[in-house]
A and B are shown apart, each in its own frame.
Chain A
């Protein structure tokens, strides 16, 4: 109900305000243009998130200080702590970074965002920046229409900056004119009452505009036009810092518990920093005066002093909170415990990852590996093998020939409960994510979808052979028992090789050796067919047994083929380009058959 009322009320109040005061209209238009510039800027930086940001992120989040540095630098460059926090939440949800690293980035983003105040106060108020805005807009928009992704990105950034400057210009003009009609400074409230009142106003303004930058620019322009007092401006800046967490909180709504924990950390940090700043406002004010006089800022240059204040109080927050990152992680883990996810529920697919193509790809890869983990158990049990035997170093030949009761498993319901739903979720996520991807990323996504399909096919083929397998590995006929155990050994070996490829950290080696697996399975199929003929001839197995064995050998070959195809995609290491290069030299069925034929001929001549 409240939601329905808020927007119409804001619109009506603003419309009334515009009717009352053309200057207010100019200021509001300035804010709107400024926010529009922020949207352009974010769009521009998204063009560069395809790979570059992710690579930097992996290298720069190994320690909390590095994470902090990454937060400072990226936010200073992008001029949006909101964008950095939303990206960090999606990285965290996709499992690309851990919570401590995420918190480090968020702390850094808080310091990085203070460069905005310096830019606005230092450049925006001193120089006639509208003169720079016009050419930036023209060049920016021209570049936006270019085909190249990078040029387009630069175009968005330039146009974004142009709009930001233009917005600041309108706000400045508006406040200058406003000064002549109404003096807002007469509403200034002194003491702690004023502090809390203006901090509250700062929070409200930032929550509405979802940008602390926009609030700051209003504060600085109003301050430069002497429409608010310096003390009240400080309180507004503190409020803006707390209010900015709203974007992170909104961004975390569609993410998993990790994302929510990070938004929690963001809120705690900004609240604590805000409380410290309010509690020690006069001491910090003195410190600002000392720093300002040291760096040569005039005593009455309140706009730059506000920028100094903004930087100092965020630095104090970081100094106060950095030693407690690990405690914060423990606290957040306790307050927001991991929901026990059933095996069939997706772990990595979150709406927040859809916007960032590379993160979405990584999420799909991880979820498909999760799907494979569920499938592994079903396939292994379908073959009457235990997972722990396959992943161990035990001799597989001994494992399959061990006497014992075959494992009975309802493959249909196992598939329905642990695979089908998860696979559907992956497909749905893929179709949503595909719309934001480049051609290469779409190709990669297509391969991942095919890998998911291979997993499902492998389960279905295992299901087809399951009943016969259970029947014949317990048969009194040693010949048929031996042949079915050979099938179990073959598939168990494939599963083991895949696990090795998955665990192997050395790039390339094991994915390329998947061709050896393919070749061996083909040889095995040929060998079994020859054996079947011999066994029928000798009367060792019945015709019915032979038919079952032939069919199941073919199913086993299909299972192996599907699993290898899946492994080539899911367990490949390195960048997408490296993986593509690897895959391009893998042998197709015809090429593998050729080798088998040559080897057969060589064996005959020896």
Chain B
């Protein structure tokens, strides 16, 4: 365990709110990462899709993922 990690662990033990805040950031980052991956996947699907109806559905999904990501990034900034 590095000194930094050890200090963080000790700090967390005595100050639960700090730990909670760090965990919140960590999990939000995880969600953002998953959304990014999902967005890329759906964009690839959209590029290869010819059917109009399916393309519309995929576009809708991408728009939602983008909006969710934007919202998440905004929240992450506020946490700093």
Distance in Å: Cβ of A387 to nearest Cβ of chain B? 26
Q: Is the CB of B16 within 8 A of A150?
A: yes
Let me know if B23 and A577 touch, CB within 8 A. Answer: yes
Tell whether, in the assembled complex, residue B31 and residue A585 are in contact, meaning their CB atoms are under 8 Å apart.
yes
Could you pull out 12 A-B pairs where Cβ atoms are within 8 angstroms? A150-B13, A440-B20, A509-B34, A509-B38, A512-B34, A512-B65, A577-B24, A578-B30, A578-B31, A581-B27, A585-B71, A595-B63
Having A508-B34, A580-B27, A585-B28, one finds 11 other A-B pairs with CB under 8 Å, namely: A509-B34, A509-B38, A512-B34, A513-B61, A515-B64, A577-B23, A578-B31, A581-B30, A584-B28, A584-B71, A585-B69
Interface membership of chain B positions 8-52, coded 1 if the CB is closer than 8 angstroms to chain A and 0 otherwise: 000001111000100110011011101100100000000000000
**Which B residue sits closest to A509, measured CB to CB?**
B38
A386 to B32, CA, bound (A): 38
Asked if B16 contacts A582 (CB within 8 A), the reply is no
Q: How far is the CA of A424 from the CA of B20 in the complex (A)?
A: 33
Cross-interface CB contact of B75 among A149, A578, A584, A594, cutoff 8 Å: A584
- The one of A149, A578, A587 in contact with B64, judged by C-beta atoms closer than 8 angstroms, is A587
Contact of B61 among A149, A516, A580 (CB under 8 A): A516
B64, A581: Cβ atoms under 8 Å? no
Nearest-neighbour CB distance to chain A for B70, whole angstroms, equals 9
Q: Is the CB of B71 within 8 A of A591?
A: yes
A348 to chain B, nearest CB (A): 27
Flag whether A599 is at the interface (Cβ < 8 A): yes
Of B15, B27, B35, B71, which contacts A587 at CB under 8 A?
Answer: B71
Chain A 128-181 residues near chain B, CB threshold 8 A: 148-151
**Docked CA distance A595–B34 (Å):** 21
Instruction: Tell yes or no: A586 within 8 A of B by CB.
Output: yes
Q: Please tell me if the beta carbons of B13 and A586 are within 8 angstroms of each other in the complex.
A: no
* Contacting residues, chain B, for A585 (C-beta < 8 A): 28, 31-32, 35, 68-69, 71-72, 75
Min CB gap B37→A, angstroms = 10
Report if B54 contacts A (CB, 8 A).
no
How extensive is the interface on chain A, given as a class? 20 to 34
Q: Could you say which residues of chain B place their CB within 8 Å of the CB of A151?
A: 14
Instruction: Check B67 for interface membership: any CB of A closer than 8 A.
Output: yes
Closest 5 A-B residue pairs measured CB to CB?
Answer: A581-B27, A585-B72, A585-B68, A581-B28, A515-B64
- Cα distance A360–B68 in the bound complex, in angstroms: 32
B63 contacts which of A149, A513, A586, A599 (Cβ < 8 Å)? Answer: A599
Query: Given the complex, which residues of B lie within 8 Å of A581, measured CB to CB?
Result: 24, 27-28, 30-31
* A148–B68 CA distance with the chains assembled, in angstroms: 35
C-alpha gap A519/B56 in the complex (Å): 13
Chain B interface, >50% SS class: helix
> Which of A582, A585, A599 gathers the greatest number of chain B CB atoms within 10 Å?
A585
Q: Is the CB of B35 within 8 A of A512?
A: yes
Question: Chain A residue with minimal CB distance to B12?
Answer: A150
Nearest chain B CB to A296's CB is how many angstroms away?
Answer: 37
Interface assignment of A598: CB less than 8 Å from any CB of chain B: yes
The answer on a CB contact under 8 Å between B60 and A519 is yes
Write out the residue numbers on chain A whose beta carbons fall within 8 Å of the beta carbon of B63: 595, 598-599
Task: Given A581-B27, A581-B28, check contact A587 B68 (CB 8 Å).
Answer: yes
CA distance A54 to B15 in the complex (A): 22
Shortest beta-carbon distance, B57 to chain A, in Å? 9
A439 to chain B, nearest CB (A): 10
**Per-residue 0/1 for A512-545: is the Cβ within 8 Å of any B Cβ (1 yes, 0 no)?**
1101100110000000000000000000000000
Interface of chain A residues 556 through 606 with chain B (CB within 8 A)? 577-578, 580-582, 584-587, 591, 594-595, 598-599
Q: Which residues of A contact B60 (CB under 8 A)?
A: 516, 519-520, 595, 599
Least distance between A582 CB and chain B CB atoms (Å): 6
Task: Find chain A residues with CB under 8 A from B20 CB.
Answer: 440
The residue in chain B whose Cβ has the minimal distance to the Cβ of A598 is B63
Q: With A and B bound together, what is the CA distance between A581 and B35 in angstroms?
A: 12
**Nearest CB to that of A507 among chain B residues?**
B34
Known contacts: A508-B31, A577-B24, A581-B31. The answer to whether A595 contacts B64 by CB under 8 A is yes
Known: A577-B23, A584-B72, A585-B72. A519 touches B64 (CB 8 A): yes
Name, among B23, B31, B61, the residue most crowded by chain A CB atoms within 10 Å (CB to CB).
B31
Residues of A within 8 A of B15 (CB): 148
How far is B13's CA from A327's CA once the two chains are assembled, in angstroms? 45
B67 partner, pick from A508, A582, A595, beta carbons under 8 A: A595
Residues of B within 8 A of A587 (CB): 64, 67-68, 71
Taking CB atoms, residues of chain B closer than 8 Å to A513 are 61, 64
Q: How far is the CB of A511 from chain B (nearest CB, A)?
A: 10
